[in-house]
Amino acid sequence: MRITELYKPMDVQDAYEKLIGQKKATLMAGGMFLRLQKRTLPLVIDLSALPLKGIETINATEKDQAVSGCERLLIGAMTSLREIEMHPALPAVLRESVAQIAGVAVRNMATIGGSVMGRYPFSDINTALMALNATLHFYINGSVPISTFMSEGLQEQDILIGIEVPTLEDVRGTYKAFKVVYTDFPLVNVAVCQWPRNPEHLTIAIGARPGRAAICTHAYSNANVNVNVNESTDLGETQVEALLAHFTFGDDYRASEAYRRALAKALISDCLLEVEQWKSL
């Protein structure tokens, strides 16, 4: 990466005006993936000085209160993945999803906002956020469900301010991924969330299926499926297969479609075993 000019705004309005004021201006959050790109960036807008870090409690909308409680958590877009990993108030599914992303040093730099905006198909945290039905808060576009953003992207330039998720009390979830080595990109990942206010309702997200090679230009390859389950949540093999039928998988140089599907089946089965254990809590 080469940078011709770097600008460090102190507030979001300033950052936004700079973004729309120059063609090919690039926002830099953590900068981990930008660093790896072999291109020259005429203007980089460094977001590190903006007050977009940290986690606060906010009131839930009426629509969200039907599923989760009266309160939600708003995670600032520039909050690092390590802060998310270590924050005790965040749902376990989110904390688990970031724990094996590269090393601690990288997680201290990489941000949740940068991960979301990249719409990377191999993303661990985006799968967890999809299962949590997270809401994204943009400076211009306001609140956007993450599923909408992942499938459609943005029609105009914008700055992500925060990511809204349910509180620890309002969701139970688990995240599992298959990685060749501990800190690798996943071959496939799965997140399952259960909502105590509606315990027969599971949200299941599968990511890194793998999506196509042109990560930046193709729509996000994750999908989530709300599945109503029986009292026992005892999904037998045929029901897991039926659940998997909602998702598409593909080949790439890392794994075949068949292998990914087999891995996803095993991971979902493991997740559902955990869901069974939650019932006795």
Structure tokens at 77: 């877009």
C-beta of 1 vs 223, nearer to another protein: 1
Of 68-87, binders to another protein (CB under 8 A) are 82, 86
Instruction: Count Cβ atoms within 10 A of the Cβ of residue 168 and give its class: 0-12 exposed, 13-18 middle, 19 or more buried.
Output: middle
154 vs 171: CA distance, rounded Å:
28
Of the chain, the end-to-end C-alpha distance in Å amounts to 50
Regarding 57 and contact with another protein (CB under 8 A), the answer is no
Most distant pair of Cα atoms in the chain: their distance: 60
- Our finding on whether 111 is near another protein (CB under 8 A) is no
Sheet holding 135-138, edge to edge: 55-59, 71-76, 160-166, 135-138, 142-145
Query: For residues 236-259, b (16+ Cβ closer than 10 Å) or e, as one string?
Result: eeeebeebbeebebeebebbeeee
In the complex with another protein, the residue whose CB is nearer, 45 or 227, is 45
| Tokens at 141, concatenated | 């576009």
Q: How far is the CB of 104 from another protein (least distance, A)?
A: 5
> Using the rule CB under 8 A, is 180 a contact of another protein?
no
38 near another protein (CB under 8 A): no
Q: Closest separation between CB of residue 31 and another protein, Å?
A: 7
Any contact of residue 37 with another protein (CB under 8 A)?
no
Does residue 5 interact with another protein by CB under 8 A?
A: yes
Q: Is residue 177 near another protein by the rule CB under 8 A?
A: no
Name the residue with tokens 């794994």.
255
Considering the rule CB under 8 A, would residue 266 count as an interface residue with another protein? no
Give buried/exposed letters for 7-22 (b at 16+ CB in 10 A, else e).
eebeebeebbebbeee
Task: State the minimum distance, in angstroms, from the CB of residue 240 to another protein.
Answer: 30
Cα 61 to Cα 65: distance, rounded to the nearest angstrom:
6
Q: Which of residues 149-168 bind another protein (CB under 8 A)?
A: none
Minimal CA–CA distance to 196: which of 167, 221, 223? 167
Closer CB to another protein, 47 or 193, in the complex: 47
Q: Choose the binding region for another protein from 99-107, 137-145, 164-172, 193-201 (rule: CB under 8 A).
A: 99-107
Strand pairing class (43-46; 6-7)? parallel
Answer for which of 9, 31, 162, 186 binds another protein (CB under 8 A) is 31
Pair 183, 107: CB distance under 8 Å: no
Applying CB under 8 A, the site for another protein has a residue count of 27
Q: Candidates 101-109, 139-147, 198-206, 241-249 — which segment interacts with another protein by CB under 8 A?
A: 101-109
Report in angstroms how near the CB of residue 48 gets to another protein at its nearest. Answer: 6
Which residue lies nearer to another protein by CB, 107 or 209? 107
Residue 32 or residue 146: which is nearer to another protein going by CB? 32
Angle ∠(140,53,36) on CA atoms, nearest 5: 85
- Binding segment for another protein (CB under 8 A), chosen from 57-65, 100-108, 123-131, 260-268, is 100-108
* Contact positions vs another protein (CB under 8 A): 1-6, 8, 31-32, 35-36, 44, 46, 48, 82, 86, 99-100, 102-106, 108-109, 182-183
